[in-house]
Structure 1
């Protein structure tokens, strides 16, 4: 398959237009939005807590009612069988550390370390225990494994985890690059159980997590992210086709440093 993000953006746009038309028809009622390890590169060593995340829901108290996170496009590279290859049915997809490929390849993705901590809740604020999250994102070059020419034979930066009794789960990854036309982001799908996820059936929701600007700038100043510096400036967050309608509840809370790695945290609700 040709590595063509322009085609991917057209695909995304068509999906988003349909979603936003539905929001317009409903008047937006009841559809308020609810809010990307060990180091692999060197760079600045200052620890940061990004102020752009202060309106997120990473610390929402358990039992506090939440609106369900909005449905977003999976894009053209989901790897869930809906658009070509299916990683979900492959042995090895259930894993916390998604930095390396599994199966016939063991190549490891490069980049600044990123731990992704997610907390899944029901709309009444109670933990969603036993939910399964399939998470994927692009690599340091903006390429998606299983699709983009340079990494078509890889399946890294994809994985499934099951939430514990508190609705919590974790992925260990690398910070994704910024490619032309999109703000830095991470895709994920939520399934009611691990069984449903690994057969790619009965998905609850598909959504995206946004990464804060200050952290992106810090990461993109390190080795390997040169093209991301340019791409980040070309598509501001407020102009991004997915996040331009607001990210108050999709923006990750961020802590860490380029040397020690970062942690992105997000608490969100799904329809119950």
Structure 2
């Protein structure tokens, strides 16, 4: 029991655990729609395109979270605008926005005194989470939960059958934009936990794992949340006891869960 409880006797690890659990919940819930809509590339794009926002916020001296959020929302809106044209596919739009925003981020980062100033954002720094950071992440969680409660049916239907949704009066493009905005919030909430480079894993892997076992959207969301929370808890334990990168440990635990489930599904196909 000491192995499980000893780390969380420290206040900074208690804050880290709360941040991990909230960020994991955010990513699992939103990631369900991202996976069902086959928008996995989006998660990686959002993680990388926050860099110009972070760099700008750092250079101007205001909260990095809001810089990251601004860049992430700009990415989501840019992708939505470009892909609304029938001549451009969504993955192409994501690639264009990703390249431009990432290049802008590198340009702004080069204006800082050292790239080391951005290590916490790029690689994650969950052990440095403050009370203010927790308040922001908790606010994001509340916003996501409220939106999902209000528009869950519309989001589910447009994810599974967009044509039928259009027939009954639900506009799929608006729901797709809503998913993009939710993904932006989820990714930004997870950046300090696992870093910009690994946010795609927290957004995609738990949901992908859950889709291998569950048939309903609600079931996928619940199981994805369990995988994300479990990965965060175990990842922090491994990080503390073996002095390893917390973000990498969290992601590797989630990846391990996915591989175990994938092997199980390979041996025993769904429906047996």
Query: What band does the TM-score fall into relative to the shorter chain?
Result: under 0.3
The structure in which a higher percent of residues are helix is 2
Please give the TM-score of this superposition, normalised by the length of structure 2. 0.26
